[in-house]
Amino acid sequence: MDLLQALLLGLVEGLTEYLPVSSTGHLLVTQRLMGIVENDAANAYAIIIQAGAILAVLGLYRQRVGQMLRGVVGRDGAGFNLAVAIVVGFLPAAVIGAAFDKKIEANLFGVGPIIAAWVVGAIVILALAPWIKRHRAGKPLEELDWRGALVIGFIQCIAMWPGTSRSLVTILGGLLVGLSLPAAVEFAFLLGLLTLTAATAYKSLKIGDGVVAAYGWTAILAGFAMAWVSAALAVKWMVAWLNRHGLSLFAWWRLAAAALAAALLWHA
């Protein structure tokens, strides 16, 4: 992997991590198009550079994170409730992900399953568009209890199928338990901080040495830095977009990505 490839992968990761289009799917397809061989190191690299996107959201939502930290030490009741909701929402993915990690990578980390997930997700968005529109105005994030968070947590596990999009299913899960669209988006971002941090740490400890040996520190740091910058821009744009529009744009994005990936890989 050369520097240009690392920067491109970081750009793809940052732009798509928090959009409901699946960053993992985009990264894996981009790797194949660039001729990067599919192996454990390549799959782990796609996950490890998520740290840049995590840092971007941590900066953008530092006030909410600070509120949760104050809650943990007993200085903010609402912050404590939100922290509990985040932890509860994370638990299903932690348990199921650890139990089925190898099977998921063996069966779903391929271009075919990713393209299928893009298409299925697009159909779901378009089919639910009227329902999403009706549920834009729901309850604020402060009213989410642990039961609702647990429901969202189980729904988040659907995104273990690369191409599905963790952001998409958690946003839909938030709407399902009664959150407003802005609150569902914010919870998806905050839940992602814990979920993605755990996944990044897990892969780094498990196969980090192999990634460094395969690609070197320069590629890892370049991907991290580009993901950080591009994720910050993408999150700001997405929040502004969803304040005025719905999710339908991302359905067409997913269909276009699926068609483009299929066409390019067919002729590769």
pLDDT at 118: 93
Structural domains in the chain (count): 1
Give the closest residue to 204 by CA, choosing from 222, 189, 217, 191: 217
Residue 253 — very low, low, confident or very high, per pLDDT cuts 50/70/90? very high
Residues 249, 239: Cα–Cα separation, whole Å? 13
pLDDT at 31: 83
pLDDT at 264: 77
pLDDT at 137: 84
Tokens matching residue 86: 């985040």
Ranges 55-69, 72-86, 93-107, 138-152: which has the least confidence: 93-107
Tokens matching residue 78: 């609402």
CA distances from 42 to 45, 119, 165, 212, 265 (A): 5, 24, 19, 11, 18
Specify the DSSP class assigned to residue 261: H
Please give the share of the chain, as a percent, with pLDDT higher than 70.
Answer: 97
Neighbours of 29 (CB within 10 A): 25
Residues 239, 51: Cα–Cα separation, whole Å? 20
Q: What average pLDDT does this structure show over 225-243?
A: 91
pLDDT at 107: 63
Q: Which residue has the tokens 């009213």?
A: 143
- Domain hosting 130: range is 3-267
CA distances from 107 to 26, 160, 191 (A): 17, 11, 26
Helices (H), 109-180: 111-134, 146-156, 166-176
pLDDT at 268: 55
Residue 41 — very low, low, confident or very high, per pLDDT cuts 50/70/90? confident
Residues 47, 208: Cα–Cα separation, whole Å? 11
pLDDT at 172: 94
Q: Which of 17-31, 47-61, 97-111, 224-238 has the highest mean pLDDT?
A: 224-238
172-176: long-range contacts, CB 8 A cutoff, minimum separation 24: 172/124, 172/128, 172/132, 174/144, 175/131, 175/132, 175/135, 175/138, 176/151, 176/152
pLDDT at 170: 94
What is the pTM assigned to this prediction? Answer: 0.86
- Whether residue 23 contacts residue 51, with contact meaning beta carbons closer than 8 Å, is answered with no
Q: What average pLDDT does this structure show over 54-74?
A: 91
pLDDT exceeds cutoff 90 at 103: no
Q: What average pLDDT does this structure show over 100-121?
A: 79
Q: Which residues pair with 139 in a beta bridge?
A: 179
pLDDT at 114: 87
Residues 197, 23: Cα–Cα separation, whole Å? 15
